[in-house]
Chain A
């Protein structure tokens, strides 16, 4: 067995208020493909940024060794110099430039002070041929497919004499055929002695390519397994293996006893991102009852946010299916119409989609409810509005000097309360919450959970999207796991187990 090429020892990385990596240890053997697996937020991205020099030495605790010697990266260049190239989901390619220019970006062959174009094209053509790629060196990168772009990035990394290739979700946007091509190339590179760290949610791929698998959970490395000794259920077990605490105060529901009317029913819904594109959400069917919390889980890119945004009328082109809201067919949704019909959405990205940061709390709270305060002649009854704002400001326990404080100055938890207040002021029947507790502290989280209980006790229905399985299981009456735009499994509360849910999210409903 060869000596480790890269060793990661006792890595700890803290952000203000959050410990992203608690204790990460693993080693990388020369010439292997080593997979990193873990749930969303397990610390994979943080680890990669550390390896790639994006978080410089000194911003973390612990040690990195390359070839047995400790290394201290001050930036990306140092990491590249040590032979580590990170290829992320957002390509570092310039679309308007040619493939050759991109491969030699920043290090073009020169003739004195001029670029040696013939030499650059000759070398690019040779590299592409080496990889067996049928891509013209002078083609603009924007004309390439996503899979080809991925390969161009790898070609560039290889030409930089990278010894360790870090691939972060390289197949997230690829078709099955493209995945096959990529895996073939990786196997060839491995045969040539390149070492690779491979990060993917798709366990099939991991098992098809990796020699060993390290599982991360909650910022710590749990175990490293040899692929031929492991199975998918074993990996999933390691990924989730944690206990649900009593953090979730979901009250037992009297709802199940007395079946209530469906407030929202979705039949065979298929949605494309835009006109003329293939369906992304495919054949979704479910219903939501009054007083119920329906959880939606799934991995990143499974389509949870897109589903909510589409129901609300802010995303996608409906290709087929029927949506019925409070007994009425709802075929052409728009945010304004949704709010009028009692369907609201509190978005995952508060700062981008939720708030007018430069305006006051009060301005934001009443923004969706202004017609309610509009009196004769189209004038806003400001005093009535202010009283109502104050009611929500107080009952949601927003912590600020007053409702005239600007929303942009609030903490994440308080901003979330304002977003919820804005949605609730419209008097909704169906409340869709997309990651309502992301990035907020434990106290504020509890308040959000209590609010959900209060709303359902009043007979309102809640759709909860969450990436945290414990939260999803703790707060939902039913859970639907999405997997790449289709339903991967539906579970009643009695059937909840982290293994089952995660398996469904990965498209292995029957593996666990």
Chain B
């Protein structure tokens, strides 16, 4: 590995470490279990949206409407729960279905009518924001405080300490089992496998990571539900993109749409599928973000589409499609949220926060271009 490659690989981890050290020195509370948990909640919310965006970007498309979508879907749920006294699960189910409907509509317009996704989703950005204000009739709908329900608890419910540990154990065992099975499958096909020591080392690191996060959270209130939602989303997206034909097709379409089509891939269906998944991720994020803010007000979700795109790009996803990883997206999200969280804790003015977000995004892409991916 030459120096340039090394710098490329380490640039982002170094940046993250620098951000952490800076805020830790400035605000000792940054390292507290309480703040760690808060950071994880923010991380989970943006991360879920970014994972949906990731699949859209892989195909070379874009979705600018998700920020407004987050507001709209959260708003529909809030109105149903607080004004129409629906049960939270039923309200969320209806809002979720609405998201799938809207996104399948956008996806269909993009592939069948050949309208660029930039335009369709820019329209979506405005239309969904407008619909959102209709839904909440331009007032702020309280989600928290009025009455406690499942909806308001999404971001405030924590798994009991022991339940968290049991879940961590189950997850670690499952991951270990899957790693072992994949290795065995390679061996039966006569393919080279990593040495036992390496494989075991990998398992120890993964399991260790799972338990470390659990224990840190348990030092405060326990594992936040949002983190579980993110974990489930990330596992789903990981399996979809790395282990299914659908995921291969996302990469293929982003790499060369004409060649993908001539390879027998139904490009239209795959793209609509990607938008449907984006709708699902938007709905989940909408529930979490609205609950996190405690109320559904006019500005919920504003600029979140840009946070999601930035997280992907910082994590090495190519805007022109065909390149990116789930780990990269999670890492990019971590950098974004650490920065947001640290600045929030430090009481940085909102105007400065905006500027800092922009600078980080531009810097990350500049580094990416400068150091060259290939």
A and B form one complex = yes
Contact yes or no, B251 A356, CB < 8 A: yes
CB < 8 Å: which of B186, B246, B255 contacts A357?
A: B255
Report the minimum CB–CB distance from A330 to chain B (whole Å).
Answer: 15
Contact yes or no, B245 A374, CB < 8 A: yes
With A336-B266, A339-B264: A356-B239 Cβ-Cβ less than 8 Å: no
Contacts of B25 in A (CB 8 A): none
Contact yes or no, A363 B248, CB < 8 A: yes
With A383-B188, A386-B191: A370-B248 Cβ-Cβ less than 8 Å: yes
Contacts of A378 in B (CB 8 A): 244-246
| B210 touches A (CB below 8 Å) | no
Contact yes or no, B245 A380, CB < 8 A: yes
Contacts of A355 in B (CB 8 A): 256, 259
Complex: how many Å from CA A386 to CA B188? Answer: 12
Complex: how many Å from CA A386 to CA B187? Answer: 12
Contact yes or no, B255 A359, CB < 8 A: yes
Complex: how many Å from CA A382 to CA B374? Answer: 24
| B1 touches A (CB below 8 Å) | no
| A358 touches B (CB below 8 Å) | yes
Complex: how many Å from CA A384 to CA B239? Answer: 17
- Interface size classification for chain B: 20 to 34
Contact yes or no, A383 B186, CB < 8 A: yes
Complex: how many Å from CA A339 to CA B264? Answer: 7
| A241 touches B (CB below 8 Å) | no
Complex: how many Å from CA A382 to CA B248? Answer: 12
Complex: how many Å from CA A312 to CA B258? Answer: 14
| A230 touches B (CB below 8 Å) | no
| A338 touches B (CB below 8 Å) | yes
Contacts of A426 in B (CB 8 A): 264
CB < 8 Å: which of A345, A354, A358, A422 contacts B322?
A: A358
With A380-B243, A383-B188: A356-B264 Cβ-Cβ less than 8 Å: no
Report the minimum CB–CB distance from B127 to chain A (whole Å).
Answer: 31
Contacts of B190 in A (CB 8 A): 387
Contacts of A422 in B (CB 8 A): 263
CB < 8 Å: which of B182, B243, B248, B262 contacts A314?
A: B262
| A456 touches B (CB below 8 Å) | no
Which residue in chain A gives the minimum CB-CB distance to B185? A383
Contacts of A356 in B (CB 8 A): 251-252, 255-256, 259-260, 322
| A113 touches B (CB below 8 Å) | no
CB within 8 Å: A-B pair count: 87
Q: Mark A424-442, 1 if CB is under 8 A from B, else 0.
A: 0010000000000000000
Report the minimum CB–CB distance from B228 to chain A (whole Å).
Answer: 22
Contacts of B188 in A (CB 8 A): 383
| B27 touches A (CB below 8 Å) | no
Residues of chain B in range 216-272 having any CB-CB distance to chain A below 8 Å: 239, 243-246, 248, 251-252, 255-256, 258-266
| A75 touches B (CB below 8 Å) | no
Contacts of A387 in B (CB 8 A): 189-191
Q: Mark A337-381, 1 if CB is under 8 A from B, else 0.
A: 011100001010000111111110001000110110010001111
| A109 touches B (CB below 8 Å) | no
Contacts of A358 in B (CB 8 A): 255, 322-323, 374
Which residue in chain B gives the minimum CB-CB distance to A344? B264
Complex: how many Å from CA A356 to CA B249? Answer: 11
Report the minimum CB–CB distance from B113 to chain A (whole Å).
Answer: 15
Complex: how many Å from CA A137 to CA B255? Answer: 44
Complex: how many Å from CA A368 to CA B262? Answer: 9
Report the minimum CB–CB distance from A332 to chain B (whole Å).
Answer: 14
Report the minimum CB–CB distance from A116 to chain B (whole Å).
Answer: 39
Complex: how many Å from CA A370 to CA B265? Answer: 10
Residues of chain A in range 405-447 having any CB-CB distance to chain B below 8 Å: 406, 422, 426
| A320 touches B (CB below 8 Å) | no
Contact yes or no, A367 B252, CB < 8 A: yes
Which residue in chain A gives the minimum CB-CB distance to B189? A383
Which residue in chain A gives the minimum CB-CB distance to B253? A356
Q: Could you list 25 examples of A-B contacts with CB < 8 Å?
A: A314-B262, A339-B264, A340-B264, A345-B262, A347-B262, A352-B259, A353-B258, A354-B262, A355-B256, A356-B251, A356-B255, A356-B260, A357-B255, A358-B323, A359-B255, A367-B248, A367-B252, A368-B263, A374-B245, A379-B239, A383-B188, A384-B189, A386-B189, A406-B374, A422-B263
Residues of B within 8 A of A (CB): 182, 185-186, 188-191, 239, 243-246, 248, 251-252, 255-256, 258-266, 322-323, 374
Taking A379-B243, A383-B189, A387-B191 as known contacts, 13 extra A-B pairs with beta carbons closer than 8 A to each other, sorted by chain A number, are A314-B261, A335-B263, A347-B262, A353-B258, A357-B256, A358-B255, A374-B244, A378-B244, A378-B246, A380-B244, A382-B243, A383-B186, A383-B191
Residues of A within 8 A of B (CB): 312, 314, 334-336, 338-340, 345, 347, 352-359, 363, 367-368, 370-371, 374, 378-384, 386-387, 406, 422, 426
Sort A-B residue pairs by CB-CB distance and give the 3 closest, nearest first: A356-B255, A370-B245, A383-B189
